[in-house]
């Protein structure tokens, strides 16, 4: 089994379950309105999607603007262990990927006897879901395992979708259909795939990206995927389709009827290309929120409302709260304070719920977030655990099946020591309360390494004043 500490990069958040590791704390120093410009690092979602497509393409792809973080590193290391040649330069922002376009010739009689390739995927949902589908289609023996929290995150809907088409075996080892995932595969049968869409859109995205790998005769693949019930986070599925298209595959996403919410037809194969990764829109939400909380003005460069990432629509939510939003071809600016609470369905932009929750602490009136029941199955319970930390700051919070209602404290957030639960988005969002409120201390800020290792350095540069580390 691969020892995770043998990876070329060891990120701080990988140590989150070590009882002997004492995590530091951080306090953002309060001050006046935040004014400035910033460009976040590359999108995690786009980097990992582009990596997967490039890994199984014909030829060598060059990916620029990539994110260097724990989530992307575990994807890179896993692909390398599967035989993909990946060269990194520019601090991980540029990746050269030599694709494995030739499928392995596997003998079903001997495949099950081979030792699996052990892949450590930490707590990266994109890595475990995308690779489970892709390696199932590509063929071979693999075991994907991660940190303790990963082994409590559901993957059975994806495994259950794969089992009827699997030539071989795929199953989840943990109680409740959670990782580790074991794959013994010689490919897929030629038949439609049905998958539930209610827990994570990454299941569908994984199947979509795996489909071009499923033909054993070398001909371009043609696969139909049927989505059963509600599909959450549709913009991420549309993002997947656009990345696949950039690598030569054809994706047709159609609304359906009866018990199906969507039907996806995938055709073709992957060809190498040069691909530029956009800045991360989820990360950008923290800087837009900094303007909304303090009544400042922050411009995020490299993004506009035509971006592949749906999370740019977080700006529209801030606009509903009273902020001003304007942009051009290469930037989006938020200015003014978020003066009033909002009632909003955030299903399409669920990774920004925690950001909005902190903005809501400084608005007048309640904020109701809807449509994000699936947030309970992320890196932490992003409804229940978020509610707990907001209450520490004096907010009144009601949990609902699909979200929560936040009533801000009358005199603003009170001082508190806040738990991140090892969740990068909890750390980044909760720290924003310290832009105005005194005594907001956030534990284990190093967990931001999962998607944004330089977050606190970038925030400090934007503010022009140092944080207090403990």
Q: Which of 71, 157, 311, 351 is flagged as catalytic? A: 351
In 3D space, the residue among 282, 277, 279 whose CA is nearest the CA of residue 40 turns out to be 279
- Read off the tokens for 229: 């019930």
Strand partners of residue 264: 225, 253
The DSSP result for 51-64, as a single string, is HHHHHTSBSEEEEE
Residues 6+ apart with CB under 8 A from 22: none
Nearest to 422 by CA among 95, 139, 147, 141: 147
Beta strands in 18-79 (DSSP E): 25-27, 35-38, 60-64
Strand partners, 87: 96
CA dist 428 and 412 (Å) reads: 19
CA 236 vs. chain centroid, Å, equals 9
Verify whether residue 18 is a known catalytic residue.
no
Q: How many helices (H) and strands (E) does the chain have?
A: 13, 24
Q: How far apart are CA 214 and CA 83, in angstroms?
A: 18
What the block records as the tokens of 381 is 């319970």
Candidates 219, 223, 359, 212; CA nearest to 289 is 359
Contact 73, 310 (CB under 8 A): no
Residues 6+ apart with CB under 8 A from 88: 76, 94, 95, 96
Extract the tokens encoding 87: 């060269």
Contact 336, 324 (CB under 8 A): yes
Q: Assess contact for 172 and 144: CB atoms under 8 A.
A: no
Which residues are annotated as catalytic?
Answer: 351
């Amino acid at each position: 089994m691969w020892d995770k500490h043998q990876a070329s990069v060891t990120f701080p958040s990988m140590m989150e379950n070590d009882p002997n590791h004492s995590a530091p704390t951080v306090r953002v120093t309060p001050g006046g309105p935040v004014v400035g410009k910033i460009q976040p690092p590359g999108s995690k979602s786009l980097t990992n999607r582009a990596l997967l497509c490039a890994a199984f393409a014909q030829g060598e792809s060059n990916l620029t603007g990539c994110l260097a973080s724990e989530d992307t590193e575990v994807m890179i290391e896993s692909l390398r262990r599967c035989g993909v040649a990946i060269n990194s330069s520019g601090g991980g922002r540029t990746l050269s990927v030599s694709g494995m376009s030739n499928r392995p010739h596997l003998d079903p009689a001997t495949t099950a006897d081979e030792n699996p390739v052990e892949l450590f995927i930490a707590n990266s949902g994109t890595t475990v879901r995308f690779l489970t589908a892709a390696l199932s289609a590509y063929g071979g023996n693999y075991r994907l395992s991660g940190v303790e929290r990963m082994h409590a995150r559901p993957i059975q809907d994806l495994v259950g979708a794969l089992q009827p088409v699997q030539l071989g075996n795929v199953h989840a080892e943990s109680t409740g259909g959670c990782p580790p995932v074991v794959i013994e595969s010689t490919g897929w049968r030629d038949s439609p795939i049905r998958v539930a869409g209610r827990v994570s859109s990454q299941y569908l995205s994984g199947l979509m990206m795996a489909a071009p790998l499923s033909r054993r005769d070398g001909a371009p693949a043609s696969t139909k995927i049927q989505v059963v019930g509600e599909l959450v986070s549709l913009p991420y599925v549309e993002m997947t389709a656009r990345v696949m298209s950039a690598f030569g595959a054809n994706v047709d996403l159609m609304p359906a009827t009866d018990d199906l919410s969507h039907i996806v037809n995938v055709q073709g194969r992957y060809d190498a290309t040069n691909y530029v990764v956009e800045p991360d829109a989820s990360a950008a939400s923290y800087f837009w929120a900094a303007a909304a909380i303090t009544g400042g003005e922050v411009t995020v460069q490299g993004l506009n409302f035509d971006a592949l990432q749906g999370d740019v629509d977080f700006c529209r939510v801030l606009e509903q709260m009273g902020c001003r939003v304007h942009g051009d071809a290469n930037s989006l600016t938020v200015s003014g304070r978020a003066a009033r609470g909002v009632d909003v369905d955030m299903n399409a932009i669920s990774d920004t719920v925690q950001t909005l929750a902190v903005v809501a602490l400084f608005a007048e009136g309640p904020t109701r977030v809807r449509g994000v029941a699936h947030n309970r199955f992320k890196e932490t319970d992003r409804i229940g655990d978020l509610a707990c930390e907001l209450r520490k700051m004096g907010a009144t919070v009601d949990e609902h099946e699909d979200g929560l209602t936040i009533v801000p404290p009358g005199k603003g957030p009170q001082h508190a020591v806040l738990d991140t639960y090892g969740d990068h988005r909890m750390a980044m969002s909760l720290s924003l309360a310290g832009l105005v409120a005194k005594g907001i201390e956030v534990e284990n800020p190093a967990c931001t390494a999962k998607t944004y290792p330089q977050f606190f350095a970038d925030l400090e540069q934007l503010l022009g004043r140092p944080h207090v580390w403990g």
